[in-house]
Amino acid sequence: EMGIRCIDSSVAGLGGCPYAKGATGNVATEDVLYLLHGLGYETGIDLNRLIDVSQFITNILKRDNMSKRKMTSKIVEFPLLNPWQHFTIYGTHNRYIVVAMNKNRSKCRILKIDRMDQKELTITEDQHEYSHVELRQLLGTIEVSNSRVGGFSKTIHCYGIIGFIKFLEGYYMIVITRRSQVARIGYHRIYKIEETAMLTITNEDIKKIHPDESKYLRALQNLDLTNGFYFSYTYDLTHTLQYNFIEQNREKNNFNNENLCWGTRYQPTWKYVWNEYLVEPIRSQVHPRWLLFIINGI
């Protein structure tokens, strides 16, 4: 880079090039010359070619700087939107089947939650995206296979999973059963939690009840999650409007190709995520699109 900036055609060629007549040379210039040889350029020295090489190296340096900025940025490869907005939870003797659908109910994904382990929370994410026909066939197969071992039934319909919590024995799942839209930011809808429900994960047949379990359970049930708790499927409520707008536009400006379309979601500001510890048990087990971040405020 030093050599390119020190072009002097009258005396020493490429910034003191050791191969130019009367030149003294330096290490930086020699490095540039080695690069020129590797690119197939002669070191005669042809200034027209050097100008082309200068532009080529400048582009390389720009790309390298962009890569460094991306490595230190807060961006992670989350999807831009949280597609799942409707959830139906089915129960069998051994597991819960969580069926998630997008807003217009055209796509479905599935989580399987093990109910036979009281100590650990084990969740399996089905990587297949189901159509309605495939989903009906799958649920029909599950119903038949469980007809003699505890049955298969629809447990609850909800609008999001707040998270999972464990006290002394076994996990509980907290879900949103009723919501109301309270605001819009552009095309983003902001919802308020109106009602929640809690499901016991561990099957009652194997669950061992600790004498103090009910005390902690009552404390959680006394928490009013309908007073000032908000969420959005498409907008990060843990950042300011200015931050969301500036960061999104800054990323778009990093790419000159207008045909590219990048979907990104920024890491939330965890200190404002009310349910941070509730989603912690599943963050390493499921794709981030299953996580719904709740904030608390007036």
Contacts 24+ apart (CB under 8 A), 131-139: 131/107, 132/105, 132/106, 132/108, 134/108, 135/99, 135/108, 138/110, 139/90, 139/97, 139/99
Side-chain-facing half-sphere of 200: CA atoms under 13 Å: 17
Residues 17 and 28: beta-carbon distance below 8 Å: no
Token digits for 292? 């719904």
Task: Please tell me whether residue 130 adopts helix, strand or coil conformation.
Answer: strand
136 domain-assigned? yes
**pLDDT tens track, the chain, 298 positions:** 334 333 343 344 444 444 444 444 444 444 555 555 556 655 665 545 555 556 666 665 555 555 544 444 444 444 456 789 999 999 999 999 999 998 888 889 999 999 999 889 999 999 999 998 999 999 999 999 988 887 889 999 999 999 999 998 899 999 999 999 999 998 889 999 999 999 999 988 887 888 899 999 999 989 999 999 999 998 899 988 888 777 655 555 555 544 444 455 568 899 999 999 999 999 999 988 899 999 998 6
The separation between CA 187 and the C-alpha centre of its own chain, rounded to angstroms, equals 20
Q: Are residues 278 and 226 in the same domain?
A: yes
Q: Are residues 7 and 148 in the same domain?
A: no
Cα angle at 102 between 175 and 296, to 5 degrees? 40
CA distance 171 to 160: 17
**Residue 273 lies in domain:** 86-240+249-296
- The total domain count for the chain is 2
**Residue 69 CB neighbours (<10 A):** 12
Which residues on neighbouring strands pair with residue 238, listed in sequence order?
A: none
| Residue type (1 letter), 156 | I
264 domain-assigned? yes
104 domain-assigned? yes
Token digits for 149? 């071992």
69 domain-assigned? no
74 domain-assigned? no
Residues sharing a CB contact under 8 Å with residue 262, sequence separation 6 or more, in sequence order: 251, 252, 255
Q: Choose the final residue of a domain: 13, 43, 59.
A: 59
Q: Are residues 265 and 193 in the same domain?
A: yes
CA distance 143 to 138: 9
164 domain-assigned? yes
Tell me the torsion sign for CA atoms 79, 85, 91, 92: negative
Per DSSP, 209 falls in state: P
- The phi and psi torsions of 171 (rounded to 5 degrees) equal -100, 155
CA distance 163 to 122: 14
Q: Are residues 215 and 137 in the same domain?
A: yes
Q: Are residues 138 and 32 in the same domain?
A: no
Q: Are residues 130 and 41 in the same domain?
A: no
Q: Are residues 29 and 119 in the same domain?
A: no
Token digits for 153? 């039934």
